Amino acid sequence: MAHKITPFLWFDGQAEEAAKFYVSVFKDGKLGKPMYDPRSKKVLVMSFEIRGQQFDALNGGPDFKFNESVSFTIHCKDQKEVDYYWEKLLSGGGKESMCGWLKDKYGLSWQVVPDMLLELMRGPKAAKVMEAFTKMRKFDIATLKKAAA
């Protein structure tokens, strides 16, 4: 299914490398066909798909960098899945942040979130759950459930 909005990610020469990395992290990832710069014959745009969402990665140069004002959320069914994406996206030089956020080695921000967090945040102990997760880097489901109990 084609999405009507495609995120277009700006890289400084690593578009193809980044696309291959993301496709390796997400088990359903698919690499698209590259678009080449007709002058240099180097990859200009590399398309890829993860979890049914198409992305385009541009080798745009050094002018723009990613920042935390835009991130992608990965909804995870259990702690095993949270742990998997957390470790994979940090590999090769990523950096942890707070409340489930991290930056991968390319500087792109991700939030790795257990599905049950939203349910807990709608419950009667939402303040306790929030207090617990604001102290976390990677979400710990057992601690979140304990806070909600």
In angstroms, what CA-CA distances link 16 with 27, 33, 56, 58, 116? 18, 10, 10, 9, 34
Fold: same for 1-64 and 66-149: yes
Please say if the pLDDT value at position 1 is more than 70: no
The arithmetic mean of pLDDT across residues 1-12, rounded, is 86
Could you tell me which CATH number the domain at 1-64 has? Answer: 3.10.180.10
Task: Write down the pLDDT at residue 2.
Answer: 60
Superfamily of domain 66-149: 2,3-Dihydroxybiphenyl 1,2-Dioxygenase, domain 1 (3.10.180.10)
Task: Write down the pLDDT at residue 3.
Answer: 61
Q: Do the Cβ atoms of 57 and 95 come closer than 8 Å?
A: no
The arithmetic mean of pLDDT across residues 68-80, rounded, is 96
pLDDT tens figures, 18-46: 999 999 999 999 999 999 999 999 999 99
Q: Do the Cβ atoms of 13 and 46 come closer than 8 Å?
A: no
Q: What is the pTM of this model?
A: 0.92
Residue 120 CB coordination number (10 Å): 21
